[in-house]
Amino acid sequence: MMQHEQKKKTYMKTFKPFILFIFLVKLANVALSQSTEFYGDSPPTSISIIPRNLPLSKIPVKVYVQRYVEEIINEWQKKGEFETIAAYQSRVNEKARNDKVQKLTNEALEELKKEYNKTINWQSLELGRYDADNQTFLIKSKQFGDFAISVPIAEGPAFRDGWHEVKMQKQDYYVLNDKLVLAKMDFVTATGKRYTYDSKQATLYAANNIRYNFKPIEVEVKQDAVQNNQTRIESKDITLGKSDVDLNIPVNPQTNNKTFVLIIANENYRREAKVPFALNDGSVFKEYCEKTLGIPLKNIHFSKDATFGEMRSEIGWFTQVMAAFKGEAKVIFYYAGHGMPDENDRTAYLLPTDGFSSDYQTAIKLDFLYESLSQQPAQNITIFLDACFSGANREDRMLAAESGQRAVRIRPRQGTLKGNMVVVSAATGDETAFPYKEKQHGLFTYFLLQKLQQTKGNIDLNTLTNYIISNVTQQSILINNKSQTPQVKVAPEIQNIWKNYMLK
């Protein structure tokens, strides 16, 4: 017992700088597999690689606990110099070892909670406004997320005015996704009044004119009982956080192994105006492809703020995949970013983030994309373009004018489609592809995602495109006071069959 306590103190002292990220090279099994006999002390079960100065919050709970348990077990299971084989076998056996491992696991978890608690800057917690109807205060925390505590309305002013003197005590945690999560904590005022946050107790906080529209908090505890943070935060008028199409994304249990997706989302341009929400467009569309359409992650390439070289490389990957699957692949290409026209021949281009709107040699010709994809056979090819090619950006300002060039709004020339290709564009002719600022998406992408969410991806292209065209056309007038009319272009070979194509 004395040795165990000494080992525990030594371990906590040496572990405090915090340590461990990559670990466990198993050696014991190799040694035992080569011989059925072993003499002397028990061999070590692992070797640890220990980076120094790693913050405790970054260390997985399992790593911490396993290291703690191994340090002690490796000593405990050694045969003593003056210990007989019979006594050793009586002391060290499968049941005794498992019991000790479990005891040490619980002990390590409690030690971790104590040490973790010391690393928190509790003074960084911020007090939000009081919800008089539900008699709750919102506590704002970057580390734990926002949560509410109950404070009677008569005690609310005193709690608010004395917030700078409030002490946080009796913190407890549970384990979720290999990390510690706040389960319970007391807030004690200078007068000794105590208010308790408990993740198991449902609380409601509502603030007028603020929409806290975050994903629901889901917890799963291994050592403790499940304790969901049941704080429910209502909202009105203003959206902060995610759009409705970013939440509750349907999940398809089936896997579409022969569907491939290339997503290019260009928002931050080096020389041109930003494209608001383009990265969010691409990121959420990727989630729908993976979760709702059942496309494996390895079949999806997502290129953020792509340069000219990166865009050409990704298109090359796409054509290689199509060639390898010899006509069995279904492919989806999605682009959100700047489009631009050639003023001389009205050719449409996709603009990389390192390109110049005044130099067509730095952009990707849309005809090049169509030609590259049509050279290989495929079940079908669907292209979504949340961009306009009139020379304007999402704010309806001309790209050329912003760079000091002559600004002319162009009606781009329609490219030629071949094979099994369907192209759905965000705007027609010289129109602008607008953002939907309230939803933090392009207007076109928002209604694309909304219909996938409503139908769980079980929808044909005809129904999907009709929904997008109808809603974008109507809402653009209401929201932006300007026309935006998505359009569908279809290769001649599939004029009579494309409407039944399914993304899923």
Same domain for 437 and 473, yes or no, is yes
DSSP state at residue 48 = B
Q: Bridge-partner residues for 302, per DSSP? A: 263
Same domain for 449 and 305, yes or no, is yes
pTM value?
A: 0.54
| Strands annotated E in 143-220 | 147-150, 167-176, 179-188, 194-198, 203-206, 211-213
Same domain for 235 and 276, yes or no, is no
User: How does pLDDT run across 317-359, given as a tens digit for each residue?
Assistant: 999 999 999 999 999 999 999 998 887 777 889 999 999 988 8
pLDDT of residue 8: 54
Q: Which of 83, 118, 153 is the last residue of a domain?
A: 118
Same domain for 388 and 433, yes or no, is yes
Token couple for 440? 């933090």
pLDDT of residue 430: 80
Cα angle, residue 386 at apex, residues 478 and 410 outer, rounded to 5°? 85
Task: Please check whether residue 253 lies inside any domain of the structure.
Answer: no
CA distances from 263 to 34, 326, 338, 382 (A): 52, 22, 14, 12
Q: Which of 241, 276, 302 is the last residue of a domain?
A: 241
Catalogue the long-range contacts made by 184-191 (C-beta closer than 8 Å, 24 or more residues apart): 187/149, 189/158, 189/159, 189/162, 189/165, 190/162, 190/165, 190/166, 191/158, 191/162
Same domain for 157 and 43, yes or no, is no
Intervals of the chain under pLDDT 70: 1-58, 207-241, 391-415
User: Rg for the chain (alpha carbons), in Å?
Assistant: 30
Task: Please check whether residue 249 lies inside any domain of the structure.
Answer: no
**Region label for 105, one of left (φ > 0), alpha (ψ between -120 and 50) or beta (otherwise):** alpha
Same domain for 109 and 153, yes or no, is no
Same domain for 9 and 152, yes or no, is no
Task: Please check whether residue 250 lies inside any domain of the structure.
Answer: no
Same domain for 223 and 292, yes or no, is no
Token couple for 13? 């002292």
User: How does pLDDT run across 389-429, given as a tens digit for each residue?
Assistant: 875 555 555 454 344 333 334 454 566 799 999 999 999 87
Same domain for 372 and 387, yes or no, is yes
Q: Which of 241, 274, 308 is the last residue of a domain?
A: 241
Task: Please check whether residue 103 lies inside any domain of the structure.
Answer: yes
pLDDT of residue 78: 87
- Rounded CA separation 265/268 (Å): 9
Q: How many domains does the chain have?
A: 3
User: How does pLDDT run across 72-103, given as a tens digit for each residue?
Assistant: 888 888 888 898 988 888 898 888 888 888 88
pLDDT of residue 57: 62
Task: Please check whether residue 403 lies inside any domain of the structure.
Answer: yes
What CATH number does residue 453 fall under? 3.40.50.1460
Task: Please check whether residue 496 lies inside any domain of the structure.
Answer: yes
Task: Please check whether residue 246 lies inside any domain of the structure.
Answer: no
Task: Please check whether residue 252 lies inside any domain of the structure.
Answer: no
Residue span of the structural domain in which 455 resides: 258-500
